[in-house]
């Protein structure tokens, strides 16, 4: 009887540890525009950079609390491009990565589309 109880406890602990390891704490949020980002306080929480253009739309961010990673994308209207880019620092790489505070950006000027992430990981 003790062996069965011990075996059950070992299996239960093993399943718990396996599920804890395999299931990540990832959240994906989608916002139609900057107003919904502000309403949900995503900038205040650090999930979205506060430098977003006023015209930003189709905003998507994915964050993993366990790994401290943030990925996101958004589109913007061309009228805001110059103002958005003026605060960026160009990094010395072939991928034309731009930096602002703790975020890195890749901007497709032809499509008015931006991918961003936090600096803790590779893009």
In a domain, 5, yes or no: no
> What is the per-residue pLDDT for 11?
66
Confidence of residue 16 (pLDDT cuts 50, 70, 90): low
Phi-psi region of 4 (alpha: psi -120 to 50; beta: other; left: phi over 0): alpha
> What is the per-residue pLDDT for 6?
67
The edge-to-edge listing of strands for the beta sheet with 89-90 is 26-33, 57-64, 69-75, 113-118, 103-108, 98-100, 89-90
Structure token pair of residue 62? 């994915």
Domain of residue 100 covers: 25-118
In a domain, 17, yes or no: no
In a domain, 59, yes or no: yes
Estimate the share of the chain in helix, then strand, then coil, as percent rounded to the nearest 5. 30, 35, 40
**Backbone φ and ψ of 6, nearest 5°:** -65, -45
Q: Are 89 and 98 in contact (CB under 8 A)?
A: yes
In a domain, 72, yes or no: yes
In a domain, 60, yes or no: yes
Which tens digit of pLDDT belongs to each residue from 46-92?
A: 999 999 999 999 999 999 887 889 999 999 999 999 999 998 999 87
**Host H or E run for residue 9:** helix 2-22
């Amino acid at each position: 009887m003790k062996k069965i109880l011990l075996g059950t406890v070992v299996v239960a602990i093993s399943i718990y540890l396996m599920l804890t390891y395999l299931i990540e704490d990832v959240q994906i949020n989608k916002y139609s525009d900057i107003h919904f980002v502000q309403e949900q306080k995503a900038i205040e929480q650090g999930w979205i950079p506060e430098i977003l253009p006023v015209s930003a739309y189709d905003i998507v961010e994915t964050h993993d609390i366990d790994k401290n990673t943030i990925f996101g994308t958004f589109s913007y209207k061309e009228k805001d491009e110059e103002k958005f880019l003026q605060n960026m620092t160009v990094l010395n790489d072939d991928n034309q990565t731009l930096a602002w505070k703790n975020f890195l950006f890749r901007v497709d000027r032809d499509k008015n589309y931006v991918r961003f992430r936090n600096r803790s990981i590779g893009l």
